[in-house]
Structure formats: C-alpha cells, structure tokens
Copies of this chain bind each other. A is one copy, B any other.
Amino acid sequence: MESWATFGGDLHLDLTAGRARGLGLRAALEDALRGAVRTGRLPAGTRLPSSRELSRDLGIARNTVAEAYSQLSAEGWLASRQGSGTVVAERGTPTAPGPAALPPRTPAVRHDLMPGRPDLSRFPRSAWLAAARRALATAPHEAFGYTDPRGRIELRRALAGYLARVRGVRTDPERLLVCAGYTQGLGLLCEVLREQGAATVAVEEFGLPPQQEVITAKGLATVPLPLDAAGARTDLLAGTGAGAAVLTPAHQFPTGVPLRAGRRAAAVAWAREAGALLVEDDYDGEFRYDRQPVGAMQALDPERVVYAGTASKSLAPGLRLGWLALPADLVGPVVRRKELADGQCGVVDQLTLAELIASGAYDRHVRRSRLQYRRRRDRLVEVLAQRAPEVRVTGMAAGLHAVLELPPGSLGEDELLRHAQWLGLSLNTLGWCRTPSDRPPADRPPTLVIGYGTPPDHLFEAALEALCTLVRL
C-alpha cells in the first residue's frame, strides 16, 4: 500500500497569524508547524509534504520550507525518515481531544446465535468485487451524480424481474424504491402515513424491537395483533383503527408461522375497506426449505400492499440495501421523503447488486446459502433431539432462526439470558420480542429464539454445544 507521503498530501497551514505578529515567512512557517504539532492536530508519525510541494502550495521559496523543516527537526518536533520524507516526531506530542463517552456496543460473545443475521463469513467477496468491476466498467458518467431518488434503473429492472420470478411480486421498475435497508424503507413509509393522517400502525404481537422503535420514532403508535397457529389475527384488524399493518406473512418473526391464505385475504379485505396500507416485510423470503413456498401477499393487491425486501439476509446487513415495491399512489410521496432523507442510495453498491442479479451470481449465492442454512437447521433439530429431547423446536423449516420451547419448570427467560451471558452465548428470548402492549403477557413456556444462521461453519458445533448446556440447566 502506497503512502500519501510518497507524493506529499495536502497540509493546511495558516501563516497569517505569525505574519501578523511581524514574523518573517520562515519564522511564521515554523510557528504554524510547531502549533500544529503541539496541539496534536498533526499527531506523531504524520508525514509532511516534501519541501518542494509545500513551497508550491504556500507560494514561498523552497529553501524557506527546507530551512524550517531542518530547524524543527533540530528542535525535535519533526524527524526525517529514510524513504518517507519528513514526519512529525514521536516525543512530546499531546494526545488528540479525549473520546466522547459512548456505551460499549456489544459484550464479548463466544457463541453467537443471535437471530436476524446471516453467516457474515459467507459474504461473496470475490463475486461482489467481480460484479463491481463489470458495473464500473460500463456505468454512464451520469450514474455518479444525483440521479433518480428511487435508485438506479439498472437495479430496479433487475429487482422487478427477480421479485416477480422468485417471490411472485407484481410490480415494475417505476414502482420500486431502493432504500438503505428495511429500516429506512419502513421509516419513509411511516413518515408518509403520518403525513396522510394515520396515527396507529398494527404490528404483530411478537416482532423485532428495532422495528417498534422506528415506527414510534416517526410519531406513530403501535397496536399489537395476536398470533395463533394460522399467523397474525388479521381478522381483528377492523377493530384496531390502525391506518396500516406491518406483517411478516411468509415466515412470522420470530414464531416462524406462515400467514394462512384466509388470514391474507382478511388482511387485504380490511386494507381495501379501511383505505389502509399493508406492509409485507419479506425479510427472509429467499430461505424456505419446504416444497411449496408461499408467494408474496403483495400479489393479492399491489395497490394496497407494500412489498419490502432486503439484501441483509441474502448477502449482508452491512450493505444497507433494501427495496420497496410501492402502490402507484405512494410512489410520489415516498420518493419525496427519500429525497429529503439522503437523496438516493449509493450508486456503486446499487450497480454492483444489479450486475450480481443479472449475471445469476445472486441466485447461485442464495441457493448455496439456502443449502447450508437448511443443513444447520436439520443439525440443530438432530442435536436437540439427542441431547435435550424435552425441548420443542417450533415454527416452519425456513429462514435463519428457530424457536425453542423449553419444558415447564425450566428456568425463566431472564434467568436463561443471564446464564447465556455467562456461557458467552448470545441469543434471544420470545419475551424480548414482545411488542409493548396493555394486555398481560399470555402464560407460556420459556422460549428461546435462536439464529442458527449467524455463526461461521467452524463455530457452529461449539455454539450448539453451549446451547445444549444452557437448555439443560
């Protein structure tokens, strides 16, 4: 890796202060450099531009700079290094301003079974890079400017085809919005709902707490929908007075129940009658291991259902790439909010994902991942059957997580979490996923939510081991 010093990077130096105090050019330069080092603005090891470059930048004689450099080297502020020119010396440099106090992000985790994340070691780095190379080779210049807030047409075209083919979504590139993950997509929708007068959003009784926070941060209240074996009780939507409902029809998070046909129909009927909006969070739609995958609910009524998809499970959350398939009358308002939020998503990642999908590399990656995650789920079930047969694995064979129902008399969920931490085991409980509600929580066995997709292959068995230890405490 080449250092910027080999050519000399920019360096801001203000000589006016010294000049104003009547110093000569060289003295003023030395003064400015001393100040920059003393205050820590130029930390030890920082490489300075060559005297030639600095003299050109400041419009003063090269000799003056050279003399100042050697003077400060003599004083011990600077040092000359073979090959890397002049650098700020080690001694006597104060540290930069102290770091701002922020809570540590996560405690040390040895066994990561936290749900909601894929195996990050599976991110297809070389396929991604190859797609980026092809995309950058052919992208028009205008792609790097401010373009359509909905995202690049190349990606919206690829997504429209992919979503229709794989998930049965009925849309077209004009109605697709590329957003910074599901989080931003949901946030933009909530802003529009608020604008249009909605006050409440119905959400499933159990879900991801972050989603709850996004909705309330936009000034909307939530009302929880009970869940049963047929999925969310959409038949109760009429009573909620909600302006919208957010559902996970393909694979309820976290319970793993699919939304039955009757309940889908009921949801759409309610939306039409109440003039309400349905948001279909298809967070892991690519990952189902049964033979009869359920298509997107959005296909029942593309003018009432927003389909929300993401690359966070199929590729990686760090990409922050998601998409909304919007009803025609929401395209304008949502695009406007996107414009105000950040203009558009980053163009390089968009063009790269478009190329990845068009080339088939995306399908291949999803298929390989599906196979791996399916094996892991089978292995989880197998190991629990052997080591902890009293634990019930509920939910359908899909996605990246499983729900473990512990027998009555087991430790409570809070105790389990405490023990898990001692074991260096990171996971979740059903209670943690409960949507805030006035109704007292139903009496149910202690239940764990396990992300079997999270750990890399070589750590999976050890994580299962730790899990078995926990559930048998």
By a beta-carbon cutoff of 8 Å, the part of chain A in contact with chain B is 1-7, 9-12, 14-16, 36, 39, 41-43, 46, 57-59, 96-102, 105, 117, 120-121, 123, 125, 128-129, 132-134, 136-137, 141-148, 160-162, 164-168, 170-175, 179-181, 183-184, 187, 213-214, 217, 286, 291-295, 299, 302, 316-321, 326, 328-329, 331-332, 335, 340-349, 352, 355, 357-364, 366-367, 456
Contacts and interface: CB of A to CB of B under 8 A. Distances in A.
The residue among A15, A137, A217 with the most chain B CB atoms within 10 A of its own CB is A217
Contacts of A128: 136, 348
9 contacts: A7-B360, A15-B292, A120-B142, A144-B319, A145-B318, A147-B318, A180-B342, A319-B348, A348-B348
B102 A332 contact: yes
Given A14-B295, A346-B346, 10 more contacts: A10-B366, A14-B292, A46-B161, A120-B141, A128-B348, A129-B129, A143-B318, A145-B316, A145-B318, A319-B348
A329 B97 CA distance: 13
A136 B144 contact: no
Contacts of A344: 318, 320
Nearest to A328: B100
A360 B175 contact: no
A357 B14 CA distance: 23
A17 to B, nearest CB: 10
Contacts of A1: 134, 355, 358-359
Contacts of A362: 4
Nearest to A180: B342
A174 B329 CA distance: 43
B363 A10 contact: yes
A105 B316 contact: no
A133 to B, nearest CB: 6
The 9 closest A-B pairs by CB, nearest first: A4-B360, A99-B174, A318-B347, A180-B342, A144-B316, A59-B291, A9-B363, A100-B328, A144-B318
Contacts of A170: 39, 41, 96-97
Contact of A121 (B100, B141, B347, B366): B141
Given A148-B105, A318-B146, A341-B183, A302 B97 contact: yes
The residue among A43, A133, A342 with the most chain B CB atoms within 10 A of its own CB is A342
Given A1-B359, A7-B360, A340-B187, A12 B293 contact: yes
A345 B171 CA distance: 27
A367 B8 CA distance: 10
A355 to B, nearest CB: 8
Contacts of A302: 97
Given A97-B172, A172-B96, A363 B318 contact: no
Contacts of A359: 1-4
Given A141-B123, A366-B10, A41 B318 contact: no
Contacts of A168: 12, 14, 36, 41
Nearest to A352: B348
A10 B386 CA distance: 34
A174 B100 CA distance: 6
A313 to B, nearest CB: 12
B102 A174 contact: yes
Given A1-B358, A7-B360, A343 B123 contact: no
Nearest to A169: B41
A291 B367 CA distance: 59
Contacts of A295: 12, 14
Given A319-B346, A346-B346, A16 B292 contact: yes
A306 to B, nearest CB: 13
A123 B14 CA distance: 30
A267 B11 CA distance: 26
